[in-house]
Amino acid sequence: MQMKRSDFYFDLPESLIAQTPVEPRDHSRLLVMDRQTGKIEHKHFYDIEDLLEPGDLLVVNNSRVLPARLFGQKEGTGSNIEFLLLEQKEKDIWETLVKPGRRAKTGAKFSFGGGVLQAEVLDVVEGGNRIVRFSYQGNFFDVLDQIGQMPLPPYIKQKLENKERYQTVYSKDPGSAAAPTAGLHFTPELMERLREKGVGIASVTLHVGLGTFRPVKEDDITKHLMHSEHYLLPEETAEAIRRTKANGKRVIAVGTTSCRTLESVGTFYGQIQAAEGYTDIFIYPGYPFQVIDGLITNFHLPESTLIMLVSAFAGYENTMHAYQEAVREQYRFFSFGDAMFITSRTPDRK
């Protein structure tokens, strides 16, 4: 069955778009859905402890969000400029989104944070992004922490008081332009209780690009081109997945980014193994899952590639019904919103 973008539309009251995170992190709500029966239960995120079994494996994305939004001035004129870091190309050379772009021609120079960071535009690439060389004293990421702001999604209007609330507690490797938000619900204490129960926790790295928010414009979703993102699946994680599968337990992806990493490797190599590269995998209904048995994820934008991924895993009818139920029960949506746990008690045999 060919699916259209409009098949993934749902009506969402603006009041349900979460503007601030819940405190503590694990007190967000959790909609639990059995992907085989479609049965729904309403719980809180801390209940995940009772829903996971010894031997199950959580795979988290340990990418850390860069405070990638920089506000500065053009040298010579003093006119204001905004840079958004997208991807590191070389040590001090980055691809950036610049507003207003007309002020950032090749050779233009800019200053940020009263001069602690300088930038020169080296090139304008396809799509209008700028290739920029930065200069500074000390460590680049320390400078960013000092003067950069979190690149919150456009639907979050409130200022974030604590930058760490847009990071997972296990974030480690800087490089994302947006948070892998399914992981925002975990606390160190919850993770420790899960380990004590015998639940495994393994990491992958996928640096989330702003393409995550790129809308699907084609009505025929198969014509949508996905952005490419860098991933790393280490050997210890590959081994943990193989062991979990061999023991008949579940591999549960925490977030669509972890899911895309695992499925990219499983699809490309035909097995789970250590791998590093770029993926532009687009998962939509009809996709044959290779690796995951469960998915923890937030509630996503209508007609987005992310709700299409969820529909591929949970089933289209199940997913759209769950979203209608979430709206009716006034769950909080998007990055700072509530979560879903989609699985079944019996792992898929692959």
pLDDT digits (tens, 9 = 90+) for 300-349: 999 999 999 999 999 999 999 999 999 999 999 999 999 999 998 767 65
Environment class of 157 (CB within 10 Å of its CB; exposed 0-12, middle 13-18, buried 19+): exposed
Tens digits of per-residue pLDDT, 127-165? 899 999 999 999 999 999 999 999 998 899 998 889 999
Which residues, at least 6 apart from 131, have a Cβ–Cβ distance to it below 8 Å? 89, 93, 94, 95, 96, 121, 122, 123, 124, 125
pLDDT tens for each residue of 29-65: 999 999 999 999 999 999 999 999 999 999 999 999 9
Give the integer Cα–Cα distance in Å for 343 and 296: 9
Q: What is the rounded CA–CA span in Å between residue 259 and residue 261?
A: 5
> Lowest-pLDDT range, 2-6, 125-129, 139-143, 166-170?
125-129
Cα–Cα distance measured from residue 349 to residue 250, given in angstroms and rounded to the nearest whole number: 10
Residue 209 pLDDT exceeds 80? yes
Average pLDDT score over residue span 60-88: 95
Tokens of 227: 């952005």
Distance of CA 31 to the CA centre of its chain: 19
Reading phi first (left if > 0) and then psi (alpha if -120 to 50, else beta), residue 286 is in left
Q: How many whole angstroms separate alpha carbon 300 and alpha carbon 224?
A: 18
Question: Cβ contacts of residue 280 below 8 Å, gap of 6+?
Answer: 225, 226, 227, 228, 229
300 closest CA partner among 328, 340, 261: 340
Strand partners, 132: 94, 121
What is the average per-residue pLDDT within 110-115? 96
Identify the three-state secondary structure at position 116.
coil
The answer to whether 172 and 64 have CB atoms below 8 angstroms apart is yes
Q: Give the pair of three-digit tokens for residue 182.
A: 């399914």
Q: Strand (E) positions, the chain?
A: 29-34, 40-44, 57-61, 63-65, 69-74, 80-88, 93-99, 109-112, 117-124, 130-136, 173-176, 200-206, 229-233, 251-254, 275-279, 294-298, 339-343
Residue 11: band (very low, low, confident or very high) from pLDDT cuts 50, 70, 90: very high
